[in-house]
Amino acid sequence: MSQVSPTSDIAISLKGVTKIFGSDPERALDMLRRGVGKTEVQAETGNVVGLDDVSLAIERGQIFVVMGLSGSGKSTLIRHVNRLIEPTSGEIIVGGDNVLEMDDAALRKFRQTRIAMVFQKFALMPHRSVIENVAYGLEIRGVRREERLERAAKWIEIVGLKGYEKTRPRQLSGGQQQRVGLARALAMDTDIVLMDEAFSALDPLIRAGMQEQLLELQQSLNKTILFITHDFDEALKIGNRIAVLKDGAVQQVAHPEEIVLRPANAHIEEFVRDVNKARAIHVGTIMERGAFEACELAVPAGARCEDVLPLFADHRWVGVTGESGEQIGRLSATQVIKALARYSAAPPAAAVVTEAA
Ligand SMILES: Nc1ncnc2c1ncn2[C@@H]1O[C@H](COP(=O)(O)OP(=O)(O)OP(=O)(O)O)[C@@H](O)[C@H]1O
Ligand SMILES: [Mg+2]
């Protein structure tokens, strides 16, 4: 599961990408290569390590999440993909094309047609209406007015803002503005969408709604989405794969469940400790495997425990099905709870256990 498919399925590939901010990148790069850490390089040379030898292969049709604390290099990474930032060394291939070899014209075309971006701070144009904002990318691309407004209106409706076409961004709430940002990116109809902390500024309820909406849209869109977040729960909820960054270096790249069950180091363990394990663990991992009597209700092995728990209100057993729909095992509520308890790092110290008389 940790291996990626053949190169043809790779939408975005970063190989050995290092970015040093500062006046003497060569010296800093040389120190990095000798194994000197980010803090030391900065103290000695005044240069800041943005990315440190990052290699990632992002498969087509995936939501790939890059997760890390503030300053870990997430924005620096995503901005390399559309070359808003030039690397100090390394290679960046998008859809088979070497981004670093593009001349100005090729790069402009690439940004207009192949890749769209949703920014953390919405970045809407205040003097333009919602529909004009959404249509902006198409305008730059030279799509004629009637067609671009028609396409923009369609996306405004999909993100739930029908009726707000003529409204100015400042008259919208934060969540609504973010929807405009999402509609603007999706209206570009690119195979790749870059999202830098796109939902981080939203309050929790609206944020959960946006996550759901993205997942729902992705079912039919099947785009390659590079999604940046500092929130591990968000990463678990929406990521097909997750890369964890620290000090500009990749710590682990894995399936969400793998990260929760087998964190690669102490840094990742710290993130894992407090997350909702029921969100990350699939029923196939903890089910009772075997040929049992067919259950009235069954879920696929890839279903998350979180989504299955409510089913136990009305069913003692829930079946688990394999790829061709046949029942391969079953689960009870007790089994799920026991498994979740087993994977929770620390015992509940504050819990008071009383024996029934
Ligand atoms: N233009 C720049 N000049 C100098 N240093 C920079 C520049 N941009 C980023 N950095 C440094 O690179 C490192 C990574 O920054 P980056 O913005 O990628 O972090 P981030 O993970 O996106 O953080 P946040 O979650 O706060 O957005 C930081 O140490 C930052 O100070
Ligand atoms: Mg950032």
Q: Is 62 in the pocket of ligand 1 (CB under 6 A)?
A: no
- Residue 292 domain-assigned? yes
The pair of structure tokens assigned to 350 is 């504050």
243 and 143 inside one domain: yes
The pLDDT of residue 346 is above 90: no
140 and 221 inside one domain: yes
Q: Is 137 in the pocket of ligand 1 (CB under 6 A)?
A: no
pLDDT at 356: 55
Test site for ligand 1: of 45, 72, 79, most ligand atoms within 8 A of the Cβ? 72
- Residue 217 domain-assigned? yes
pLDDT at 205: 82
The pair of structure tokens assigned to 308 is 């299955």
| CATH at residue 103 | 3.40.50.300
Q: What is the pTM of this model?
A: 0.87
289 and 303 inside one domain: yes
pLDDT at 8: 62
Per-residue pLDDT of 75-99, as tens digits, reads 999 999 999 999 999 999 999 999 9
Q: Which of 245, 276, 307 lies at the terminal end of a domain, its last residue? A: 276
Q: Is 333 in the pocket of ligand 1 (CB under 6 A)?
A: no
Per-residue pLDDT of 3-25, as tens digits, reads 444 456 999 999 999 999 999 99
Q: Which of 276, 304, 320 lies at the terminal end of a domain, its last residue? A: 276
- Residue 25 domain-assigned? no
- Residue 51 domain-assigned? no
Ligand 1, atom 12, lies closest to the CA of 50
Atom of ligand 1 nearest to the CA of 48: 5
308 and 219 inside one domain: no
pLDDT at 349: 46
Distance separating alpha carbons of residues 64 and 61, to the nearest angstrom: 9
Domain with 208 in it: 59-276
104 and 228 inside one domain: yes
Interacting residues of 208 by C-beta distance below 8 A, sequence separation 6+: none
Q: Which of 276, 293, 325 lies at the terminal end of a domain, its last residue? A: 276
The pLDDT of residue 153 is above 80: yes
Ligand nearest to the CA of 86: 1
- Residue 231: name the closest of 210, 262, 213 by CA: 210
| CATH at residue 288 | 3.90.1280.20
- Residue 288 domain-assigned? yes
Q: Is 74 in the pocket of ligand 1 (CB under 6 A)?
A: yes
Q: How many domains does the chain have?
A: 2
230 and 334 inside one domain: no
Per-residue pLDDT of 47-70, as tens digits, reads 999 999 999 999 999 999 999 999
